[in-house]
């Protein structure tokens, strides 16, 4: 059985692990002592490690890494919404943890790397070498696949459950099941050095999404103008079909 590492086995990491645990032996990391037993109860080999914002002189290379076929990094290395914050020590701690890993590598990034402009963004609008929170890993591990994830939704994460403002704003969301499918397909394809927007192709506004999730009709005007992020490159190159193309129906 192949071996998959998931650095940062939180909400998203757990979903990826659950999807792939019948195909891969899972090696997980967590920052929380109480989560170790939970992850191990699922059959995952678990390492307790954190990546502090200051240099950790005690940071050792991940012992398991040399045996792993692929690693998914699901730890935030940018600020909220992709804001460029100084995190050089935190990033260096991660690089030290990875050692000289040469296998397939994925970094969970964010569509927040794109400017707050009313237009449709593609990957070409923001090359990874211009994004500090992506460039740092490519310089040492050029094989890294960068997945720019939209707002993470699905399961208990539904827009209707949050206190939301700007209700006429178009959404860029993605269901966790589709993220899992993207990772699964790229693992199978042995993809390397790819940059993809992982975002549902439909962009209703927030009010439409909330109404649909509450079973209410939507009678407002639908604007087609807003800040949207395109998954077209992902669709074309991976021949990818979304299980949840429309955020209005993430709950069904």
Q: What is the pLDDT of residue 80?
A: 52
Cα three-residue angle 231-104-40, rounded to 5 degrees: 100
Total-model pTM:
0.95
Say whether pLDDT at 225 is over 90.
no
CA-based diameter of the chain, in Å? 59
Neighbours of 99 (CB within 10 A): 13
Q: What percent of the chain has pLDDT over 70?
A: 96
Q: What is the pLDDT of residue 78?
A: 62
Computed over every residue of the chain, the mean pLDDT equals 94
pLDDT-based confidence at 50, cuts 50/70/90? very high
Say whether pLDDT at 44 is over 90.
yes
Q: What is the pLDDT of residue 129?
A: 96
- Report the run of H or E that residue 140 belongs to, with start and end: helix 132-140
131-to-125, 203, 224, 230, 245 alpha-carbon distances in Å = 11, 25, 28, 18, 27
| b/e sequence 187-219, b meaning 16+ C-beta within 10 Å | beeebeebbbbbbbebbbbbbbbbbbbeeeeee
What are the pLDDT digits (tens) for 68-107? Answer: 999 999 997 765 554 555 578 999 999 999 999 999 999 9
Say whether pLDDT at 233 is over 90.
yes
Cβ 195 vs Cβ 186: under 8 Å = no
What are the pLDDT digits (tens) for 164-218? Answer: 999 999 999 999 999 999 999 999 999 999 999 999 999 999 999 999 999 999 9
Give Cα 227 distance to the centre of its chain.
Answer: 19
Angle subtended by helix axes 132-140 and 88-98, to nearest 10? 30
What are the pLDDT digits (tens) for 142-171? Answer: 999 999 999 999 999 999 999 999 999 999
Say whether pLDDT at 235 is over 50.
yes
Average pLDDT over residues 13-39: 97
Q: What is the pLDDT of residue 76?
A: 76
205-to-88, 158, 192, 228, 250 alpha-carbon distances in Å = 36, 14, 34, 11, 14
């Amino acid at each position: 059985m192949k071996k998959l590492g998931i650095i940062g086995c939180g909400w998203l990491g757990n979903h990826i692990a659950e999807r792939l645990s019948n195909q891969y032996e899972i090696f997980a990391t967590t920052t929380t002592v109480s989560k170790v037993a939970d992850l191990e109860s699922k059959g995952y080999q678990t390492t307790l490690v954190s990546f502090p914002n200051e240099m950790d002189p005690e940071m050792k290379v991940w012992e398991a890494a040399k045996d792993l076929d692929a690693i998914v990094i699901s730890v935030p290395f940018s600020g909220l919404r992709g804001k460029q914050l100084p995190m050089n020590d935190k990033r260096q701690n991660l690089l030290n943890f990875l050692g000289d890993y040469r296998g397939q590598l994925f970094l969970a990034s964010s569509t927040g790397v794109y400017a707050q402009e009313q237009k449709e963004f593609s990957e070409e609008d923001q090359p990874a070498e211009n994004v500090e929170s992506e460039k740092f890993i490519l310089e040492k591990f050029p094989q890294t696949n960068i997945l720019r994830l939209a707002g993470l939704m699905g399961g208990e994460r539904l827009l209707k459950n949050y206190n939301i403002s700007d209700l006429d704003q178009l959404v860029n969301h993605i269901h966790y099941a589709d993220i899992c499918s993207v990772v699964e397909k790229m693992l199978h394809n042995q993809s390397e050095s790819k940059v993809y927007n992982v975002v549902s192709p439909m962009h209703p506004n927030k009010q439409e999404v909330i109404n649909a999730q509450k079973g209410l009709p939507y009678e407002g005007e639908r604007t087609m103008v807003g800040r949207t992020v395109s998954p077209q490159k992902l669709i074309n190159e991976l021949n990818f079909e979304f299980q949840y193309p429309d955020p209005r129906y993430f709950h069904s």
